[in-house]
Amino acid sequence: MQKLHEAFIARNKKVNKIEEVKILKNPMDVFSKLDEYAQSGYDSIPDEDKKYFLKCFGIFDKDGLTPKQFMMRVRIAGGHLNSVQARAIGEVARDFGQDYIDITTRAQIELRYLDIENIPTLLRRLQTVGIDSFQTGVDNFRNIVNDPLDKYAFDNVLESQPLLEKLQSQFLHDPAWISALPRKFNTSISGSLSNRCNVYGHDCCFILAQKNGVYGYNMYLGGKVGEVAKSADIFLSSHEEVTCAYASIIDLFKRFGFRDNRNKNRLNYLIEEVGMAEISSAIRENAKIDFATAGETMTALDFSDADHGKVQLRDGSFGVHVVIPSGIFSGSDLLHVSELSERYGNSEIRFSTGQNIYILGVKDVPALLSEPFFEKYKNINTPYFNNLIACAGTKHCSFGVIENKQDAIDMATYLGEKVPLESGRVRMYWSACVKGCGLHGLGDIGFEGCKAKVGGVTEDGVHISLGGKLVSEGLEGYSVIKAAPLRFARFYVETLMLEYKRLRLKNESFEKFHDRVLSNYSSAYIGFFMQLNAYFRAKNIALEIDLNKIGNTGKNEEFELFELGRKLYFAFTKKEPYSAYERFTNENKREKPEDIRKIASAGLHMDENLAQMIEKMLTNDYRAVVFSELTQFVQLA
């Protein structure tokens, strides 16, 4: 472990300010004062407690957004809870939190609008049903995620919730682990063939695998926003091996994790510094177990529960999927879910990392769906809502750059009206800022909140990305449009959805459509194409260019640009700009295209912007070679 020692020494000569705060108090001492703070009121709470120590117990000061109030993040292990626990959560949300609940991408919930006077009572009521908010914030082990259909699904090979609880028992409620890490630590586990819990997106992942005919888990490490976890080349064949490997890696991170720059101190950066081989070797040495090398990873399938609204379980009953747009829910509605799960199901309820809900053990699905609850929440919504994710945004998070949750709902509503799809799967993931709590990098279409400039004026915007994957070993998406004004983003995505609708094969998801069609083109071409057709529609120009109108250029942006210019010239004039071509350019360099303004069809309403743009795409003397030179011509404002 020499490399780990050396890296630690090099990166910890100076610690960050949060590390300096940590040494001021024992977090448990602060927790023990909750009743005192409840009696004396908000203003009596020391600043360091509000800013850091209470967060160790999932209690977040939101004074800047809702004066003198708190948010509480409630740990729901694996997203698994029963009707009694759901009822308790619903009641405290109704009684103390303005009846508001957010379902998060860690399959847990957040209660908002909480007064300090009520928090001790609220916590005690939750603790009576076996749940609380310990260690759900700052430098702690966050909620461990699992397949919501663990134990019940046909494709679940290894039941993993009991193992999850063993992993959780290593740190939960243990003062030695509270606020002991350099940074937060996210964990996932799945014993299923389908990836229902974003299993590759965490610091430490235990993923269904097979080796020599034995089922177990491959260990993956280093996932975070912008990075999927990578194989540690470790196969774990038993519960004991998994718990030992976990104990080893969390101990290593506690001892050697960087404590200088908080922007670069997740586990990923330690791995980056010393290499995965060194980390894997250290895990084995620290555990004193020579774990087997990795087997074949089995969790490689997408899941389609949301498309069908239900999924058959092993006992013949169904898990009924409930779509919760942007994860915005209420205590009263959770009380309804609790009651419905008892009346129609087996009293088991699941939150998903997609911010939705499953009611398990349902035998009479039509009767359940006839309940008034399903007039408000659908089990099958449009493809734009079925797999929609959005983090808190500016309304509830001080880091947010855009409102986000309602923006996501507005986008899905608009697309459902303008480009209705009878079927299909489109995963739109929204993050309100670069921190990426909405998992935007893993979406088919990802949105990251930012600021955009229009005519010199700053307004809400989004970076738009494509190509994120949950299947196989996961993949982060790539950017197609930077800083798109939020009010125009829907028009750009509409272009893409029109192509998906036109070109998709039967039952083809957007992810597969991307791999079959979009992956043939450069990101710059796709982004420009989205803006170009939006411009045509906005200006009532009677033309729409198909995405695959240009030939295969090997994703060479300069060739794509020339080919598109050529197709646009022909579309407006019914003439070729040049007499002969060689390798995506005109053969005779002295030849010049005829002025498109003079020969364009009047019925197409081509404007001066487009005339100048097409000239710049084709004219030898000042030909553009990258699409960023052309975006000025297709601005919507």
pLDDT over threshold 80, residue 472 = no
* Helices 2-11 & 267-274 angle (0-180, nearest 10): 120
Out of 445, 475, 508, a domain closes at: 508
Mean pLDDT of 603-609: 90
pLDDT tens by residue, 621-636 = 889 999 999 999 999 9
For residue 549, what pLDDT is reported? 85
CB 627 within 8 A of CB 561: yes
Q: Please, which pLDDT band fits residue 55 given cuts at 50, 70 and 90?
A: very high
pLDDT over threshold 90, residue 552 = no
Distances (CA, A) of 532 to 194, 390, 450, 493, 633: 37, 27, 22, 12, 9
For residue 542, what pLDDT is reported? 87
**Same domain (yes/no): 265, 172:** yes
Say if 621 falls within a structural domain: yes
The pair of structure tokens assigned to 361 is 């053990």
CB 534 within 8 A of CB 488: yes
Mean pLDDT of 268-287: 98
**Same domain (yes/no): 535, 446:** no
Out of 447, 481, 508, a domain closes at: 508
Distances (CA, A) of 3 to 216, 271, 380, 552: 30, 11, 52, 47
Cα distance between residue 387 and residue 310, in whole Å: 14
For residue 470, what pLDDT is reported? 84
Q: Which of 547, 402, 394 is nearest to 463 (CA)?
A: 402
CB 448 within 8 A of CB 468: no
Domain containing residue 487: CATH number: 3.30.413.10
**Same domain (yes/no): 422, 543:** no
The pair of structure tokens assigned to 220 is 């993956």
Residues 6 or more apart from 637 whose CB is under 8 A from it? 454, 455, 485, 488
Out of 246, 267, 297, a domain closes at: 297
For residue 603, what pLDDT is reported? 84
pLDDT over threshold 90, residue 303 = no
Say if 154 falls within a structural domain: no
First to last CA, the chain: 58
Cα distance between residue 207 and residue 222, in whole Å: 14
Say if 515 falls within a structural domain: no
pLDDT over threshold 90, residue 490 = yes
pLDDT over threshold 90, residue 310 = yes
Say if 36 falls within a structural domain: no
pLDDT over threshold 90, residue 8 = yes
Three-state SS at 379:
coil
**Same domain (yes/no): 585, 488:** no
CB 429 within 8 A of CB 389: yes
DSSP symbol at 423: S
Q: What is the 3-state secondary structure (H, E, C) of 302-352?
A: CCCHHHHCEEEECCCCEEEEECCHHHEEEHHHHHHHHHHHHHHCCCEEEEC
**Same domain (yes/no): 472, 527:** no
Mean pLDDT of 14-43: 97
Mean pLDDT of 216-234: 96
Q: Which of 402, 398, 408, 311 is nearest to 355 (CA)?
A: 408
Mean pLDDT of 586-613: 92
Mean pLDDT of the chain: 96
Percentage of the chain exceeding pLDDT 90:
92
**Same domain (yes/no): 174, 238:** yes
Say if 92 falls within a structural domain: no
**Same domain (yes/no): 500, 546:** no
Domain range for 554 is 521-637
**Same domain (yes/no): 211, 289:** yes
Residue 550's CB is within 10 A of a number of other CB atoms, namely 22
For residue 270, what pLDDT is reported? 98
Say if 615 falls within a structural domain: yes
For residue 225, what pLDDT is reported? 87
For residue 544, what pLDDT is reported? 83
**Same domain (yes/no): 591, 564:** yes
Number of domains in the chain: 3
**Same domain (yes/no): 171, 289:** yes
**Helix (H) or strand (E) run with residue 565 in it:** helix 557-573
Say if 136 falls within a structural domain: no
- pTM score: 0.95
**Same domain (yes/no): 436, 535:** no
Mean pLDDT of 279-304: 95
**Same domain (yes/no): 496, 445:** yes
Say if 332 falls within a structural domain: no
Q: Please, which pLDDT band fits residue 152 given cuts at 50, 70 and 90?
A: very high
Cα distance between residue 265 and residue 262, in whole Å: 5
Q: Which residue has the tokens 């008892």?
A: 342
pLDDT over threshold 80, residue 125 = yes
The phi and psi torsions of 221 (rounded to 5 degrees) equal: -140, 155
Q: Please, which pLDDT band fits residue 76 given cuts at 50, 70 and 90?
A: very high
